[in-house]
Structure 1
Amino acid sequence: MEDVLLAVLRTEPGPRPLPPVTSLREFLVATLSRTARGTAEPGVRRAATELLAAAAGDERIDEAFGDALADVRAEGHRWIAQARERGELRDDVDADTLLDLVAGAAYYPLLWRGRALAEDRVAAVVDLLLDGAARR
């Protein structure tokens, strides 16, 4: 089973491209919306749940999962740095933590409730997280 999961993670093309964005908020909404849409299908939801569980227990799968998401996270880091430079985020906001919290909004309901994050909730989740990270 582990070899199958590793093969899936290493298969191109990876995540679907995001629409053009012009801000951190738009990037986070687009990324989280893509995840919400992708996990809305029951078969995908089950596969994603199994993949996440396997990644938690297998270092090779965890590493492959991280590699599969590396480009998206790097882009997130760039948007966070730009938002920080514009004074939109506090200097002490950790980029990895913010990206983990956004991803957690999709993964928590998936793992604990067996449901995808409702796409109509995505913007509210992002706004809540960005409000907590905003410079005051």
Structure 2
Amino acid sequence: MTTLLQDIGSPARTPRRGPGRPRNENIDDRVLSAVLELIDEQEEVTAARVVRRSGVSRAALYRRWPSLTTLLAAALDVGREVPPPIPTDANLRDAILGSLLDATVGTAQVSYPDERFRQRIRLAMADRNLQKAYWTSHVARRREPIEDALRAGVERGELRADLDPEACFDLIAGVFYYQFVVRGDHLNDEHTRARCRSALEVAWRGMLPTCPA
């Protein structure tokens, strides 16, 4: 990916404050919007196209993101949010499973549409560097609330002592990815959600200290 250059300053209309020029807060939004437009239109994202569409100088663009890979990763995460912590005084099973099921409906579907999700999968699978950058900078931090809750469950004796929270998250998150990516079903569909709920219940039983034969 293209190595990004150092910025030489903000637009001339930005007033000076002290010895340097302040950062133009609008630049980030304009750049990310331009990238998302290109992604949504299934156009290749290049520095030249982003500069042309956003109206932001190449220098200003390159100061903010060290490569096109990191820029793409940031754009693909627009509309996603880190889930809130799982309450420590809540029923652990209900809180975790509820958090997973709630994350697939409601406002998240509006701010992060299905088609963009599919584009994200396509771009990440085509570029391992992008896949790794997106994982490191964005995806990994959204796992933390549930992984922390699983660790708390182990510490309280509610879950198996040998439980691997990261592996368990992969297991339960994979339930949803399979429905969407492999089966091509919508996560708002009640039959799809029923399958997810059933699979999550099976996974949860395997996490308990004693799993019935």
Instruction: State TM-score, norm by structure 2.
Output: 0.51
**Secondary structure of 2:103 counterpart:** helix
- RMSD of the TM alignment (CA)? 2.9
Mapped contact 1:76–1:99 kept (Cα < 8 A): yes
1:89 maps to 159
**Secondary structure of 1:35 counterpart:** coil
2:134 maps to 65
Task: Determine which of 54, 75, 89 is the counterpart of 2:123.
Answer: 54
Between 1 and 2, higher relative CO (CA 8 Å, sep ≥ 6) is seen in 1
Mapped contact 2:172–2:203 kept (Cα < 8 A): yes
Amino acid at match of 2:168: L
Offset at 1:60?
2.9
Deviations along 1:74-94, whole A, 9 cap, x unmatched?
A: 222210110101212212221
Amino acid at match of 1:95: P
Between structure 1 and structure 2, the one with the greater Rg is: 2
Where in structure 2 are the equivalents of 1:30-45 lying within 5 Å? 30-37=99-106, 38=108, 44-45=113-114
Amino acid at match of 2:161: D
CA pair 69-23 structure 1, distance change in 2 beyond 3 A? farther
Mapped contact 1:80–1:95 kept (Cα < 8 A): yes
Offset at 1:70?
2.4
Distance in 2, Cα, partners of 1:90 & 1:20: 19
Mapped contact 1:77–1:95 kept (Cα < 8 A): yes
Mapped contact 1:6–1:64 kept (Cα < 8 A): yes
The structure with more helix, counted as a fraction of residues: 1
Task: Determine which of 16, 29, 36 is the counterpart of 2:98.
Answer: 29
Distance in 1, Cα, partners of 2:134 & 2:101: 17
CA pair 54-91 structure 1, distance change in 2 beyond 3 A? farther
Structure 2: unaligned runs, 5 residues or longer: 1-43, 46-67
Distance in 2, Cα, partners of 1:20 & 1:7: 26
2:81 maps to 15
Structure 1: unaligned runs, 5 residues or longer: none
Alignment of 1:112 onto 2:182? yes
Distance in 1, Cα, partners of 2:134 & 2:177: 14
CA pair 52-61 structure 1, distance change in 2 beyond 3 A? same
CA pair 35-65 structure 1, distance change in 2 beyond 3 A? farther
Offset at 1:7?
4.1
1:133 maps to 207
Alignment of 1:6 onto 2:80? no
Instruction: State TM-score, norm by structure 1.
Output: 0.74
Mapped contact 2:86–2:149 kept (Cα < 8 A): no
